[in-house]
Amino acid sequence: MTAKKGLIQRGERRQGLGRKYHSIRRSPKEKMSEASSLDGRWEIHKESQSLPRNSAPTRLHRRRLLTGRPGANHRDSGPPRHVPREMAHACLSPGPVKSSWQ
């Protein structure tokens, strides 16, 4: 089962916008720490609010590489949670041993 193609494409567009506006989005944060007056901070805040919403890194969502479905990825290896188990059952990954107590 795979994710809807529109959701995958929306995520790819957001990644592209995030890369495009990364340096622009970072510069107001640096200016904010240097600003001394509250009015100066408000101006910098307005400047950062003028950027597209979809360029914010918090709007990105991690998706599985093979199916494009969201969530449940292993932090170290990347595949979803059930893939290492399936690989162990199919003897594709070295190390894990399937045990049975019946």
Residues 21-61: tens digit of each pLDDT: 888 888 877 887 788 788 888 888 888 888 888 888 888 87
Angle at 73 between CA 89 and CA 87, to 5 degrees: 15
Q: Is 41 exposed, middle or buried (0-12, 13-18, 19+ CB in 10 A)?
A: middle
pLDDT (tens digit per residue) in 57-97: 888 877 776 677 777 666 666 666 677 777 788 888 788 77
Claim to verify: residue 17 and residue 52 sit in the same structural domain: yes
Claim to verify: residue 11 and residue 55 sit in the same structural domain: yes
pTM here? 0.58
Give me the domain span that covers residue 34. 5-65
Claim to verify: residue 48 and residue 17 sit in the same structural domain: yes
Closest CA to 80 of 97, 98, 60, 63: 63
Claim to verify: residue 79 and residue 61 sit in the same structural domain: no
Claim to verify: residue 18 and residue 58 sit in the same structural domain: yes
Give CA–CA dist 76/48, Å, rounded.
Answer: 34
Cβ atoms of 63 and 11 within 8 Å: the answer is yes
Overall domain count for the chain: 2
Claim to verify: residue 51 and residue 27 sit in the same structural domain: yes
